Structure 1
Amino acid sequence: MSKQTVLATHQRPRPADTDYDVIIVGFGAAGVSAAIEAAEAGAQVLVLDRGYGGGATALSGGIVYAGGGTRVQTGAAVEDDPDNMFRYLHQEVRGAVSDETLRAFCESSPEMIDWLEGNGATFDSSLAPYKTSYPTDRHYLYYSGNEKAHPFKEVATPAPRGHRQVAKGLDSGKVLFTRLRDRALQLGVHFLPHSKVDELILENGSVVGVRYRTADSAALGLRHPHRSILAAKLGNWAPAIGARLAARLDREWAAVAASREARAGSVILAGGGFVRNRTWMARWSGPYANIAPLGTPADDGSAIALGLSAGGTTDYMDRMTAWRFITPTSAMTEGIIVDGAGARIANEDLYGATFSDHMVREHGAVGYLVLDAKQWRKARRQIFTQANTFQLLQLAYLYTIGHKKAHDLASLAQKIGVPPEALQATTTAYNSGILTGQGDPAHKAAELSTTILSGPYFAIDVSVRNSPFYPAPGLTLGGLKVNERTGHVLDGDGRSIDGLYAAGRTAVGICAVGYISGLSIADCLFSGRRAGRTAAATAEVITNA
């Protein structure tokens, strides 16, 4: 984050303890979307964030999953419509939300891109011509999910829906949030960074405000913003080091923080998930226990806990996602991935998180990518045309010390601890399907299916476990149950809790069961805007009354 970006978060004067129409806890994609909608409706909005805003969105690749015929799709001559998008997403969502909500998400998707661009975001119609987990700076539209993979393509016509904010490398997420944050501040939203909400204020069963602690920027020192950003980044790639730095920063903050109280007709919880909460992860993660936590120190479940304290309930807390991508480069997909017993896991052209879910839940989180010499050479040639700069270090590891090599499959199987006869049988079945014209037995796309016949042979351990050079980052998908029409948090009887809303990864949403690139941010925008509109309308009703 640049110096200008950090300083921009301090340009709003700190308000004293006072009344607002809407208070928002968390300032990532969901929080900033809610703030913009509420402020545009005339509400007085206070946003409290434990960091400097941005959340996991600012650390992400800035992908927004959108379709149904967006301006960007039309510019790339892509044919798509809301019904086609619904048929595809219905397979991914698997009942996490109602069909009515999913249709509303799909039908409003083109407008969402228009709304983002109207608030400063920038997208481009340059379509990536190859399969990738994240496009290079030459392309900003791509197939970011399972659109072209079996069985999804049998139900809906494939269409690229991954809309990447125009920026260099991994700056797309930061730029996307910064544009939206600047718009929120222009609308008069009051933003207090390094502010932690400790308690919701309830009166007669309604949420009417928050009690929080906040620290003045001057008391924290000039280096605090940069150290906070460093802690968040290290938390994703070196969790132990990041956790120690975050704990130190938290102690410094606690030493100077002051207690305050603010009241409002509505409180929106948008503080992220709980991947940083060790106790909750131990309880809920199950086979996903070894993922590298992806998010900020604030993704510790504190926002969800606030909702529970007011009588809210949760769902899908055991649903996680892990990103074990074998692209870039696209030639890697031409190999096969087997489990510890030498059996095929699934078609390798599935989206990385979808494939990982099969591997984690059905194959003990163990997998080995097997390629022959021609596939290996082809993959290496593609590095400088398909890989981003930030991906080169990982690729360097895989192509140097991060793989096994043998002159025959039996020897390779012994090196990776897989039964040789099982690996040979799996490979033979794969080759036979291709050579006979029947196709891959696992239904991988024909253009990505090539025989494994020419030695030497190579294997990469793609098991889902944390590794400093080849991490498997992941996040939580479950959260507070909400009214899908309003965003209100629901109690144990399914009734809306007056004055309390939730959005983003704090709530159950579109991607609560399964994840594809861009769907989490898109859901944050969708649910955040919904909560912001409803909360502002409620404030207007109270004022008129």
Structure 2
Amino acid sequence: MSQGRSTIETDVLVVGFGAAGACAAIEASDEGSEVLIIDRFGGGGATALSGGVVYAGGGTRQQEQAGVEDTHEAMYKYLRRETDNVISADTLGEFCRESPRMLEWLEEQGVPFDSSLCPYKTSYPNNDYYLYYSGSEQAFTEVATPAPRGHRTYGKGTSGRLFFDKLAESVQRRGIEVLTQTTAQQLVTDETGRVVGVKCRALRRGRVHRVLNRWSAKPFLYVPKVGRMMHKVVEWLEHRRSAKTITIMARKGVILAAGGFVNNRHMMRQHAPRHRGGLPLGTPGDNGSGINMGAAVGGATAHMDRISVWRFLTPPSAMLDGLLVDRNGQRICDETRYGAAIGDAIIRNGGKAWLVIDDVLIEEAKEQLKEQTLWFQKLQVWYLLLTRKRGTPGIDAQALEATMKELDDVKPLYPPYSLIDMSIRPTIGFPAPMLTLGGLVVDEKTGGVKRANGSVIPGLYAAGRNAVGICSNSYVSGLSLADCVFSGRRAGRNASAQL
């Protein structure tokens, strides 16, 4: 085993084994480089916890089979509005033009997709549907003709684990070595400032570490306090004397793909103090280590305050006919927007919001529960319906009446009314998942990490949520995984090209 040596050499070293790291490694290997991947745990990261949705369009095979007409121009116009110039027009245009081919590439790696089109608006489709409107396309019809672009990996339940497993199998088929339970601690640079390797800590006997980390993963996601307590033992094991320090030298380049920082409480307080009450969507590995290592050698960061907090009104789709208001009875935002946009609007409103519905919508929602929800969605909807309040207590009645009258043509609601609390607050019954979007600034042609003066740090690349990318300003479902594939392949291809 490579862990038996104190120094290891390879062409390209990938730090982090999620979607971005796997795609980077595959691409670098296919370009002829020797590749080594390291991961603090067993691989998968936040990718394996995700819904396995890839945002793709412009005429994918699945869209065509479903009878959906889409063009890369329409996809570009929508994303230009949605992402608000976070990347250059050229890069976004390339992403949209190459989108159908990106999905084909994923299929070549073994990731399955399907063309069954969801007939209603939802945050995540049930097991009957795998193509759906995963963003705010229907709210921006004046910008571009909307099209469903959420391509969910074809598998039951939340299919992120299947998405990652197929990429991991592709990595294995290429003979790429993966060192698990190996924590990157510091980048190694030469006298010119070029990044030439990484210092790591590797566990010699990691069975207990592996088991405890697996046991703490779900509590860490759903009940963070319990997960953090369980994970303290995992961290203790990582610092025992049995852990060995190794240095991995990379002849061509190091690619940072170690995830975001949603589970670094200090960084969250520093960069995003308003985002309290959300549920961190990630693993203990989403602690900002990759971003911090890059910054330590001069890498610039951006959009570190951009946190995507999700507050979904659907499923069931009947909820979209409700009215989302603040204490003053004012409408907060278009209810058809994606859950991240709704979450942003609620955060800007101090984290408070209520959905006004009537008895007709309540009955429709109950009927739709049977067909439109997976088990965890069903539990959340029942929680909301059971905790709703009759009437509109605490809301400015006169202002609410004026708001409802103004929207009567598009949102007719009839008394008696009920209020559902949609505020961002810590609750098991109705959590608000959140993830970080900012990271290291990269050259959009190569994925090379840039300094504050715009120059590129030789030998260092970043991808996925370690880097500023397509979704770093505004997130819609599937855009982060799509960006992981896009940026990971870019970094792998260009790192491999170095002499």
TM-score grouping bracket, smaller chain normalisation: over 0.9
The one of 116, 122, 128 aligned to 1:132:
122
Aligned length: 495
Contact 2:392-2:418 within 8 A present in 1 as well: no
**Residue pairs, 1:139-538, within 5 angstroms:** 139-149=129-139, 152-170=140-158, 172-203=159-190, 204-216=192-204, 219-221=205-207, 224-255=209-240, 256-264=242-250, 265-361=252-348, 363-400=349-386, 402-405=387-390, 412-414=391-393, 417-431=394-408, 434=409, 440=410, 449=411, 451-455=412-416, 457-538=417-498
Q: Which residue of 1 aligns with 2:22?
A: 32
Q: Residue by residue, what CA displacement relative to the aligned partner does 1:178-232 show, whole Å, maximum 9, x if unpaired?
A: 000111111111101111111111002100001100113xx233x5434323322
Counterpart residue identity of residue 488, structure 1: G
Q: Residue by residue, what CA displacement relative to the aligned partner does 1:288-346 show, whole Å, maximum 9, x if unpaired?
A: 23211110101111100000111101000111111100101000111101012211111
Secondary structure, counterpart of 1:321 in structure 2: strand
CA distance in 1, matches of 2:97, 2:174: 27
Secondary structure, counterpart of 1:209 in structure 2: strand
Contact 1:30-1:270 within 8 A present in 2 as well: yes
Counterpart residue identity of residue 331, structure 1: A
Contact 2:311-2:339 within 8 A present in 1 as well: yes
Contact 1:169-1:390 within 8 A present in 2 as well: no
1:287 is displaced (CA, Å) by: 2.4
1:370 is displaced (CA, Å) by: 0.8
481-490 vs 340-349, greater mean Cα deviation: 340-349
CA distance in 2, matches of 1:58, 1:478: 20
Contact 2:181-2:206 within 8 A present in 1 as well: no
Contact 2:55-2:482 within 8 A present in 1 as well: yes
Q: What RMSD in Å do the two structures reach over aligned CA positions? A: 1.3
CA distance in 1, matches of 2:2, 2:376: 37
Contact 2:19-2:44 within 8 A present in 1 as well: yes
Gaps of 5+ in 1: 1-11, 406-411, 435-439, 441-448
Contact 1:142-1:161 within 8 A present in 2 as well: yes
What is the aligned-residue identity percentage? 46
CA distance in 1, matches of 2:33, 2:270: 39
Contact 1:59-1:233 within 8 A present in 2 as well: no
Contact 2:451-2:457 within 8 A present in 1 as well: yes
CA distance in 2, matches of 1:352, 1:15: 47
CA distance in 1, matches of 2:24, 2:97: 20
CA distance in 1, matches of 2:480, 2:456: 24
1:131 is displaced (CA, Å) by: 0.6
CA distance in 2, matches of 1:429, 1:27: 51
**Residue pairs, 1:39-188, within 5 angstroms:** 39-149=29-139, 152-170=140-158, 172-188=159-175
Contact 1:202-1:209 within 8 A present in 2 as well: yes
Contact 1:232-1:295 within 8 A present in 2 as well: no
Q: Residue by residue, what CA displacement relative to the aligned partner does 1:96-117 show, whole Å, maximum 9, x if unpaired?
A: 1000000010011001000000
* TM score, norm. by length of structure 1: 0.89
1:376 is displaced (CA, Å) by: 0.8
1:243 is displaced (CA, Å) by: 1.0
1:237 is displaced (CA, Å) by: 1.2
Secondary structure, counterpart of 2:141 in structure 1: helix
Q: Which residue of 2 aligns with 1:4?
A: none
Q: Which residue of 2 aligns with 1:18?
A: 8
1:15 is displaced (CA, Å) by: 7.0
Secondary structure, counterpart of 1:273 in structure 2: coil
CA distance in 2, matches of 1:515, 1:229: 28
